[in-house]
Each structure stands twice: as C-alpha cells, then as structure tokens.
C-alpha cells in the first residue's frame, strides 16, 4: 500500500464532459489566533523542520477496566487509576536506560516487563530487536535463552507465557525462565516464513509485523506459514560504505506473477501438538489469500480467506474438538459485484465476549459500508444511510462502539457512536462525541478500557488536538489529559493559514475539496495554486484533522494556496464513488484533478499562470499522469516515488483494483506514465526517488526517466542513495527544501 505524506488516465478514449461547479461550502476551523497585532511572523520552512508547531498526544495502555500505564516525559512508567487519577511509579526511567529500551511490554499478570532495544528496521512494519525481561517482584533483569535479532515477540493474554519468532521459526516459552520449545523448524530466509508475514502480506494484507496470534486463555498459538519459494525476486543495489555495493533480493510478487502460498496452523501448548486450519474448498480450489485471523473465544478461531481476485471473501469459524479444528456454524460469505471487498484488505470481525456472534463492516444494498451483526448463518445491518461506518472500536457484553462520518453529512468528519446490546436486539445509535467541543472537535476516535467503562477520547481537529478521559456509562468527562495549551501559546505569534472546505459536482457526485489559504486571504487578489494530490482508491485528503506541515509553510510564508480534491475513487462516500476506478486506474482520478484545478481557477482568486501539482507514491503517479495529459492547466509538478507502470507494482494491491494484466491488458497499457512522455515538453517536472525503495521500486522512476530522455524532454531529477519509500532522516529535510526551491522557481 502506498503512503500518504503527513500534511495532509485522461486516456484519449476516456475523456468526459467537464463537471459543473455547483456550490461551495465554507467550513472554517477553530481559529488558533486572531489578528490582534499589526503583523506576526510567518510559519517558516525551518519551523516545519524544527517541529515548532508539533502537537502532543497522550500515551496510554489499558491494563484493566480502570487502570492504565502512562510513560512520562521523563521516561518513567506510571500506573494510573482512571477513576481517581492517582498514580504510582511502575518502572523507573533508569530501568529503561540500563538496556537502552525504545519500547516495553508488560505481562498480563504484571509479574514481568519485557524491554525492547537494538531496533533494526526492515520494511514498513517489520524490524528485529533484542528483548530483555525484568522481574517486577525481584526488581532485576533475569537471564533467558531468548536470542538476539528477534523478529517478533508476544506475551500470552493471561499469565506470562511467551511466543517469539527467530530466524523465521516460531518458539514458545511457558515462563520467562523456562527453556523454549521450538514449534517450527523449516524457516528459511526469503523462502519459508513462520509467524511473520512476507513482504507483500506485511505491506498489503496484514499491515503488521506479525502473523502469530495467542488464544485468549493462552493455551493455543495460531501462526501462518508463508512459502515464497515460487515468488520472483526484486533486486536493487545497496551502496553502503564498502568498496563494492551489495545487492538486496526480496521475493516480491508483481501483478500477474506467482504469489506466496499460505497455510494456517495452531500449536497447543498443553499437548505440543500442531494442527492445520484448513482453507474452505470454495476458496482453496484456486489461488487465494489468508486475510484475517481472530480468536473468538478460548477454543474458537475465526479466519477470513479470499480469492485472488479479492471480490469474494469467506469468514469461517473453527472450533476445537478431538484435537482438531473443525468448521463451526458461524460462516459468512462477503462478495462485491462492483469492485473489491472492504476498503483495502477485509475488515476484521469483532466478537462478543462469548464468541457466539460478531460485528463487521460491509457494504449494504445501497453500497455504503455499514455495521452488520453476524449470527451463525444470518446477518442484520445495524446502521444505514448515505454515510459510512469507518471502524469498530469495542464490543462489550452490553454495547458496541464504532466510528462513522454520519454527523453533518460530512465525509471528512469522524465521531464515536454507541449501540446498546440487549440479547440479540440492539438499540438505536447514540453519538458520544457529536456535541463535545463541536467547533474544535470534528474528527474523533476513542481507546476503550478492557470492559469499556472508560475511554480516551482523541479529538484530532480541526482545532488543536484535545485528549480527554471519559466515562462511557454516564457520558461524563473524567479529566483533561492533554489540551495542547503550550502549542496554542506558541501559535499566538505566528500568522497561520486557514482552511476552507467545499464540494464540486462531477457527474452525479458532490465531491469534496479543501484549500489551505494564506493568512489575511483576500479573494480580490491572485494567488499561486499547488494541488496536493494522493487520489488512490479509498483515499481522503479533505478532512477535518489539524495538521501543520510543508503546506503550512507554503501558505503562510510563500502565500501559496494549497488545495486537495477527493475525486472519483476516493473513500468513505459509498462504493459507487470508490469503485469508479475498478479495472481502470489512471483514468477518472487523473481527470478529476484537472477538472478541479480548472474550477479553482474559475473562483477568481487563482493566478492561472502559476498552477502546480505534487504528490508522493500514488500521488506521484497521479501528478505525473496529470502533467502528461497535456491539459495546459499546470505549469509544473513534483512527483516523489511514483509508479510509472502498474505491471511493476505488487500483486495484492494492483490486482485488487486492476485484476491481472492478462485479464485487463488494455487498461494496464493505457495507464502508464511512460506512454505520455512527449507531453512533458510543455511542463516543468521534478522526479524524485530513493534507490533502496522496497515498495515502489527505483525501476519505476528509471523507466520514466528513460521515456523522457527518449522524447528529448528536459526535466529535473533527484535520487536519494540507499533511501526507501519514506525518504527518512536527512533525506526528508533535503527533499522538502529541494521541492521548495523548485516550486519558487516555477512560480517566479
């Protein structure tokens, strides 16, 4: 999956009529400061790099229904009572320092704490680390047989058993001091992976660094086994510091090429027996994926399998009986006739505490994603309307809590809702956050305690982020945990931009945009415009989160209007909009950015001779496709780590939207950046890529460069040696500085 930066095919035969500009809806965020003085300093590029306006959150980990752990700014770990607010030191900062720990994990019985150190990044989610175990009763570290360079480690949900993955094999320990049991022996680098996902599953299916799951009572460990022996390798050069560069090889299935195979097993710590959980025949007969693994109860496991086309998903539950896992009565098939199932990979079911039934998010008959209740062979939707449920937060014995964008009919807002459970019936929904600090807080989420009595409410904007502890039983605020008052004081002296939201009509759809406007914006003046684009399937750039980033600098200091538009293909507004891109990436999402730019110009305050576009990853692809369309709207653009051709990208992501090349060759052929190279003669183009990008390979930018050279196009390029898709470290400051210079030259 591509990344969207923090701050926030116009094919010859696919052109459509220009959209109608219907109405503008202005929604101004909470003002951070008011102009009480004649002049304030602007928000500079150095402010962005230095974190001058960095927001604070509040870290907590619930350990019971009324207790949580909080790590202080000084580095000590405190156990805090939610009801009283009283706390005590759980672990001193000096203990963290002794092993240079970057993280911690406390055993369920609170007898041990495991410290993580020696972090070594692998891919987006995966890393290796050393694990040191501290005995909280003896107040000292203990010697263990846990090796270094562990790929994953997890405590059991009860007691203090451990499971870990080392050298692609699964191990289990009954206690921290007992000898480990080796569960698997066939792990092999880039061949067989047990308990951790391979590259494509990590990136596109699980979005985690693990494929290992403890049962609630700690008896069973489920784990996935991935076989990459038939997957083709991607190779790239690692320059390093040595006399000769090295070559990195990763099994990486590209569109239409062989995928990894997967099996699911369960290890019984009581008997040391391992049993396979079999894929159902309707999916297992062909190529398929393991999508999610969820323990419903101590002896019931729920698994989602899906066909390679990703429009057919089976949710199966398996019960433990006679030392085997057999299919139980709860079974559901989820399909899509208009695209793929889910937003990305399928949503995970959330079970009632007894494991007999579960809640799920799926498209209803009107093709909006809603909350559904699954019992063994039936389903009933608990929500409905032209809006969407975005996540299920918590299910207790008496309530289900979820997030949706129902309130104010605004797709870019988020609020927390509660539905009371009464047996198999459910109450009407109740919004817990819609009226709380309504101007400041339009984008909310929550983190619930173990039984749901308390929750951390996190308000992410449009005003300054606010984190409060609340009681779900009576709806009261217990206390404010972080209000970002220090940041409010800092911003009083800075001329900050404002944000405008509105909609444009394209065909039958009202589609949302946002504009970041310079301080003291004057609609009678003309401003340069930068389109900040992502535009991938199910993306959303127009929302109500508070952000400070590169766009803040551009609007405040350079007086550039930075706009984003969620065209066809974007998410959280129903499948009809999102699935418009099905089988045709590089078409409508590209056209809609051009159409939106034209209508922004028609608003009267945009300098039509100074219009640019930029994006990262999928946004870099759309930027390049827009510039290659030859529309005459854009003077310049910047593409960071772009795709150039969908056959070069991974199978799970690409085929979800495009099927395989053999099934959809014409649209693969017509959606390449390289095919539009000649149109770049009339724009200024900056192409940026990291040479060690394991996700969107440097191959993609190299092919764009080759095509542009073949057409004798003059363009700018910047590569970053040994940097991956995120361009971290010193490369991050360098790329934003470089793009700032490029943009100022374009607008000069």
Catalytic residues: 617, 693, 725
Nearest to 566 by CA among 425, 405, 331: 405
Write the CB contacts of 626 (distance below 8 Å, at least 6 apart in sequence): 10, 533, 590, 593, 594, 613, 634, 637
Q: What distance in Å separates the CA atoms of residue 444 and residue 446, rounded to the nearest whole number?
A: 7
Q: How many CB atoms lie within 10 A of CB 229?
A: 13
Alpha helices by DSSP H, listed for 456-519, are 485-491
CB 548 within 8 A of CB 631: no
Q: Which tokens go with 346?
A: 């399928």
Q: Which tokens go with 692?
A: 């060690």
Q: Which tokens go with 64?
A: 């019971």
- The alpha carbon of residue 610 and the mean position of all alpha carbons in its chain are separated, in whole angstroms, by 33
Q: Which tokens go with 663?
A: 């099934």
Q: What distance in Å separates the CA atoms of residue 568 and residue 584, rounded to the nearest whole number?
A: 11
The continuous run of DSSP H or E covering 623 comes out as helix 618-627
Alpha helices by DSSP H, listed for 220-338, are 281-284
Q: To the nearest 10°, the Cα dihedral for 518, 521, 524, 529? A: 20
Q: DSSP string covering 527-589, please? A: EEEEEEE---TT---S------SHHHHHHHTS--EEEEE--TT-SSS-HHHHGGGTT-TTSHH
CB 283 within 8 A of CB 331: no
Write the CB contacts of 16 (distance below 8 Å, at least 6 apart in sequence): 507, 588, 591
Burial class of residue 281 in the structure, from the number of CB atoms within 10 Å of its CB (0-12 exposed, 13-18 middle, 19+ buried)? exposed
What does DSSP assign to residue 441? B
CB 283 within 8 A of CB 306: yes
Q: What distance in Å separates the CA atoms of residue 570 and residue 576, rounded to the nearest whole number?
A: 10
Nearest to 553 by CA among 584, 533, 530: 530
Instruction: Kindly list the distances between the CA atom of residue 306 and the CA atoms of 196, 257, 302, 303, in Å, as whole numbers in the listed order.
Output: 19, 18, 13, 10
Q: What distance in Å separates the CA atoms of residue 172 and residue 152, rounded to the nearest whole number?
A: 12
CB 657 within 8 A of CB 704: no
CB 70 within 8 A of CB 55: no
Nearest to 578 by CA among 342, 353, 738: 342
Q: Which tokens go with 158?
A: 């009860």
Q: What distance in Å separates the CA atoms of residue 567 and residue 450, rounded to the nearest whole number?
A: 39
- The alpha carbon of residue 304 and the mean position of all alpha carbons in its chain are separated, in whole angstroms, by 20
Nearest to 551 by CA among 520, 580, 516, 593: 516
Instruction: Kindly list the distances between the CA atom of residue 263 and the CA atoms of 266, 286, 293, 303, 664, in Å, as whole numbers in the listed order.
Output: 10, 14, 12, 12, 29
For residues 545-580, one letter each, b for 16 or more C-beta atoms within 10 angstroms of the residue's C-beta and e for the rest, the string is: bbbbbbbbbbbbbbbbbbbbbbbbbbbbbbbebbbb
The continuous run of DSSP H or E covering 669 comes out as helix 665-669
Q: Which tokens go with 731?
A: 């490369």
């Amino acid at each position: 999956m591509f990344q969207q930066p923090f701050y926030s095919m116009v094919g010859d035969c696919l052109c459509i009529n220009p959209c109608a500009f219907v109405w503008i809806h202005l929604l101004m965020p909470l003002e951070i400061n008011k102009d009480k003085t004649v002049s304030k300093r602007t928000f500079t590029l150095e402010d962005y790099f230095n974190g001058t306006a960095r927001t604070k959150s509040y870290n907590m980990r619930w350990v019971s229904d009324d207790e949580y752990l909080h790590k202080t700014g000084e580095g000590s770990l405190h156990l805090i009572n939610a009801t009283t607010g009283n706390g005590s030191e759980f672990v001193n900062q000096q203990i963290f320092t002794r092993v240079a720990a970057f993280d911690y994990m406390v055993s369920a019985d609170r007898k041990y704490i495991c410290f993580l150190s020696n972090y070594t990044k692998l891919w987006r989610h995966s890393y290796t680390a050393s694990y040191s175990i501290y005995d909280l009763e003896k107040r000292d570290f203990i010697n263990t047989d846990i090796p270094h360079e562990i790929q994953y480690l997890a405590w059991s949900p009860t007691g203090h058993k451990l499971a870990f993955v080392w050298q692609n094999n699964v191990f289990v320990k009954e206690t921290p001091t007992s000898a480990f049991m080796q569960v698997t022996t066939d792990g092999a680098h880039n061949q067989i992976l047990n308990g951790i996902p391979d590259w494509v599953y990590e990136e596109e299916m699980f979005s985690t660094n693990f494929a290992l799951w403890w049962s609630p009572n700690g008896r069973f460990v489920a784990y996935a086994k991935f076989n990459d022996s038939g997957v083709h390798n991607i190779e790239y050069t690692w320059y390093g510091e040595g006399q000769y560069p090295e070559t990195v090889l990763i099994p990486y299935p590209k569109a239409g090429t062989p995928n990894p195979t997967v099996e699911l097993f369960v290890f019984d710590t009581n008997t040391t027996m391992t049993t396979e959980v079999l894929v159902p025949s309707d999916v297992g007969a062909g190529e398929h994926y393991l999508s999610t693994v969820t323990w419903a109860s101590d002896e019931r496991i729920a698994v989602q399998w899906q066909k390679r086309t990703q429009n057919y998903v089976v949710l199966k539950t398996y019960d433990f009986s006679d030392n085997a896992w057999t299919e139980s009565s709860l079974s559901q098939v989820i399909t899509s006739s208009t695209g793929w199932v889910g937003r990305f990979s399928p949503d995970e079911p959330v079970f009632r505490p007894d494991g007999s039934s579960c809640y799920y998010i799926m498209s209803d008959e009107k093709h909006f994603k809603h909350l559904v209740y699954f019992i063994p062979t039936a389903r009933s939707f608990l929500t409905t309307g032209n809006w969407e449920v975005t996540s299920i937060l918590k299910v207790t014995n008496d309530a289900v809590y979820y997030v949706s964008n129902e309130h104010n009919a605004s797709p870019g807002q988020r609020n927390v809702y509660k539905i009371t459970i009464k047996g198999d019936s459910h109450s009407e929904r109740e919004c817990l956050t819609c009226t709380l600090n309504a101007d400041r807080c339009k984008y909310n989420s929550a983190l619930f305690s173990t039984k749901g009595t308390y929750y951390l409410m996190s308000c992410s904007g449009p005003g300054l982020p606010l984190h409060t502890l609340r009681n779900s039983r009576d709806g009261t605020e217990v206390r404010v945990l972080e209000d970002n008052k220090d940041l409010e004081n800092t911003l009083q002296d800075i001329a900050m931009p404002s944000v405008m939201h509105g909609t444009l009509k394209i065909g039958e759809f009202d589609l949302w945009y946002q504009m970041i406007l310079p301080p003291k914006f004057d609609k009678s003046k003309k401003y340069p415009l930068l389109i900040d684009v992502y535009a991938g399937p199910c993306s959303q750039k127009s929302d109500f989160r508070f952000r400070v980033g590169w766009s803040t600098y551009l609007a405040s200091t350079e007086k550039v209007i930075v706009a984003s538009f969620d065209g066809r293909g974007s998410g959280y507004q129903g499948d009809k909009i999102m699935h418009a891109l099905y089988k045709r990436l590089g078409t409508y999402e590209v056209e809609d950015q051009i159409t939106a730019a034209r209508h922004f110009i028609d608003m009267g305050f945009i300098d039509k001779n100074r219009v640019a576009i930029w994006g990262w990853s999928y946004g870099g692809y759309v930027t390049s496709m827009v510039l290659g369309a030859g529309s005459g709207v854009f003077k310049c653009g910047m593409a960071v780590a772009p795709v150039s051709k969908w056959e070069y990208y991974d199978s799970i992501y690409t085929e979800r939207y495009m099927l395989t090349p053999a099934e959809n060759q014409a649209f693969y052929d017509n959606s390449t950046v390289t095919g539009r190279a000649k149109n770049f003669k009339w724009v200024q183009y900056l192409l940026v890529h990291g040479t060690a990008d394991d996700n969107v390979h440097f191959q993609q930018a190299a092919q764009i460069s080759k095509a542009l050279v073949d057409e004798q196009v003059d363009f700018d390029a910047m590569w970053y040696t040994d940097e991956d898709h995120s361009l971290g470290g010193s490369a991050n400051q360098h790329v934003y500085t470089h793009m700032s210079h490029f943009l100022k030259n374009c607008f000069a």
